Structure 1
């Protein structure tokens, strides 16, 4: 990965950050600079930023990490897809765990884009002048559930507008270590790149009044499992429904961790791979072992609803819980819920 460090002069002061980088970093366009900033590839005096409009300050050092180039054209691959709906404009799938959405370092092939290029061969008239599916939202590689992609330019523009105005119904199911307190509510906490780790997000409210991008998650614990400690009455785990009002990177994972109920199996935001539950015996061992062995964040995109951007039809899709989460919940249900069980 190539890194470029630039120190702003007096004549640079006041410029938008994306304009400054485009002007100083050789062949970089402003739109590409803007994308890199939003991806967390830029640091100001060692602190990450994701604001391309930020004003440049004289004497500050701006470091740009240029990622390795992605192959120009992803190749079609015959990868099975669970298709929930398809017409000439859209395709809705139930994404499996382990499938990345876009080709990227470490996942150049086997992605949803590769699969859609094969499945939709001859059906993609072009989005932005390129024969490709229009991805307007994404799920993490290890997250399962409902996703939509556009097959035409008009559908892509329409879907993008719906997501931009939050006119999309999106509900997720998560299994958490402990339970959020209270058991239902709204988390309204801004999210930005974590300081010192551009791959990680965090709730960011700085003492100087600056903060991350608005992020709002409505949640409700549908079921709780066991007790964390004898006599406390606090659950050891919970099945939580999360409804997104905004769609920030890792939003549910960050928000649940922020309120002390990180997702079981989360390799980035989870404080523990398992659950802490009071008790002993075979049922306790089964439940705790199931949580410890869970190999991904326990998160599933269960519901996606929106108005078809071309036909105006009301669309609503639900994807059942995958088997690994079903098995995890069944094991957690073995935990007694009070001291007298």
Structure 2
């Protein structure tokens, strides 16, 4: 096994990303499948590549992907690049703080800011900024300092950050038990027939496109998710809606709206950056292109956030105005819709 290195050599150049102890009732299972069941946002191919490079160790011994994990085994995944905790550097990035006390703060996140470091985004994140402005923030269950919940990079709006262990536990429980309040404003393709409705569906990684999430019938492939929506304005080929979340799954609104045939406007990852509804007229195409330039991201804003304060028990509710780029795009549609007679085309 000359290609594999002893652990003392590995420690000089590799970084531990994951460490798991197989439970007492663990049945014999290939280590690649064992890790697939425990690591989010990965693929079996990546894990097998890690095994081929000598990056998977069981009880401090490098193993191949077909190694059978048994009860009590300590399984470690070590890679050539550090985890975000290991390279987390405080960065002097301004924060739009709309509320702060000794327990928590509420931030209005701009478009383009990633919430926490990850693959391809190791700096310039909200967590980098928090590390600069605050010391000793509590870790959540994913070892991310201060974060109670998250929103996507190009989604704007409100986030609550815990400053104490008590606040972290108290706030996290509210999100888990669905007693927090979260309202989003979204512009979606198509004319939604109902005035309001509820979307339910298990959200998990897409079967073939690992960059996307999808709705699955089986809970084995996804976690239950519930989104309530209400129509605010109709513009013919697009609809402005309000969404209330019961759950907080990855890309939940984006996935649920696509699932019912109303992909978010200019949502590149889910196909909303193509003309999904409208006419074949050149002027219409030019209008959509201008809208995309005005709003170069998915049309989604976390507008309202409510929760019970961990100490005072007062229910706090925060509201932010729709950001200028989304406002401008909505106004373009408002003007356009008044001047048009719409005929639905496929």
Q: Give your verdict on TM over 0.5.
A: yes
> Superposed, which structure 2 residues align to 1:146-161 within 5 Å?
146-161=158-173
Aligned length: 290
Label 1:271 to 1:142 Cα distance change in 2 as closer, same or farther (>3 A).
closer
Match among 176, 180, 188 for residue 200 of structure 2: 188
User: Following TM superposition, by how much is the alpha carbon of 1:179 offset from its aligned partner in structure 2, in angstroms?
Assistant: 3.0
Q: Which residue number corresponds to residue 50 of structure 1? A: none
Label 1:201 to 1:222 Cα distance change in 2 as closer, same or farther (>3 A).
same
Q: Which residue number corresponds to residue 224 of structure 1? A: 234
Measure the CA separation in 2 of the matches of 1:236 and 1:150: 41
Please state whether the residue corresponding to 2:335 is helix, strand or coil: coil
> Superposed, which structure 2 residues align to 1:240-259 within 5 Å?
240-259=241-260
Measure the CA separation in 2 of the matches of 1:113 and 1:106: 15
Measure the CA separation in 1 of the matches of 2:209 and 2:167: 35
Measure the CA separation in 2 of the matches of 1:142 and 1:66: 31
Please state whether the residue corresponding to 1:186 is helix, strand or coil: strand
Please state whether the residue corresponding to 2:166 is helix, strand or coil: helix
Label 1:326 to 1:165 Cα distance change in 2 as closer, same or farther (>3 A).
same
Q: Which residue number corresponds to residue 105 of structure 2? A: 91
Please state whether the residue corresponding to 1:185 is helix, strand or coil: strand
Match among 211, 224, 247 for residue 214 of structure 1: 224
Measure the CA separation in 2 of the matches of 1:88 and 1:193: 38
Match among 147, 154, 157 for residue 142 of structure 1: 154
Would you say the 8 A contact 1:158–1:310 is kept in 2?
A: no
Measure the CA separation in 2 of the matches of 1:298 and 1:66: 38
Q: Which residue number corresponds to residue 335 of structure 2? A: 334
Would you say the 8 A contact 1:274–1:289 is kept in 2?
A: no
Would you say the 8 A contact 2:306–2:316 is kept in 1?
A: yes
Measure the CA separation in 2 of the matches of 1:281 and 1:177: 19
User: Following TM superposition, by how much is the alpha carbon of 1:271 offset from its aligned partner in structure 2, in angstroms?
Assistant: 4.5
Q: Which residue number corresponds to residue 297 of structure 1? A: 298
Label 1:271 to 1:316 Cα distance change in 2 as closer, same or farther (>3 A).
closer
Deviations 1:225-272 (A, max 9, x none): 1xxxxxxxxx20011111001111100000101111101111111254
User: Following TM superposition, by how much is the alpha carbon of 1:61 offset from its aligned partner in structure 2, in angstroms?
Assistant: 10
Label 1:325 to 1:66 Cα distance change in 2 as closer, same or farther (>3 A).
farther
Q: Which residue number corresponds to residue 212 of structure 2? A: 200
Q: Structure 1 residue 75 and structure 2 residue 77: aligned? A: no
Label 1:269 to 1:281 Cα distance change in 2 as closer, same or farther (>3 A).
closer
Would you say the 8 A contact 1:237–1:275 is kept in 2?
A: no
Label 1:40 to 1:107 Cα distance change in 2 as closer, same or farther (>3 A).
closer
Question: With structure 2 as the length reference, what TM-score do the two structures score?
Answer: 0.73
Question: With structure 1 as the length reference, what TM-score do the two structures score?
Answer: 0.74
Q: Which residue number corresponds to residue 262 of structure 1? A: 263
Would you say the 8 A contact 1:306–1:314 is kept in 2?
A: yes
RMSD of aligned alpha carbons: 3.5
Q: Which residue number corresponds to residue 54 of structure 1? A: none
Deviations 1:200-249 (A, max 9, x none): 1101115xx85521111000110011xxxxxxxxx200111110011111
User: Following TM superposition, by how much is the alpha carbon of 1:287 offset from its aligned partner in structure 2, in angstroms?
Assistant: 3.8
> Superposed, which structure 2 residues align to 1:308-319 within 5 Å?
308-319=309-320
Measure the CA separation in 1 of the matches of 2:336 and 2:166: 51
Deviations 1:137-164 (A, max 9, x none): 1111111000011111111111111111
Measure the CA separation in 2 of the matches of 1:275 and 1:190: 25
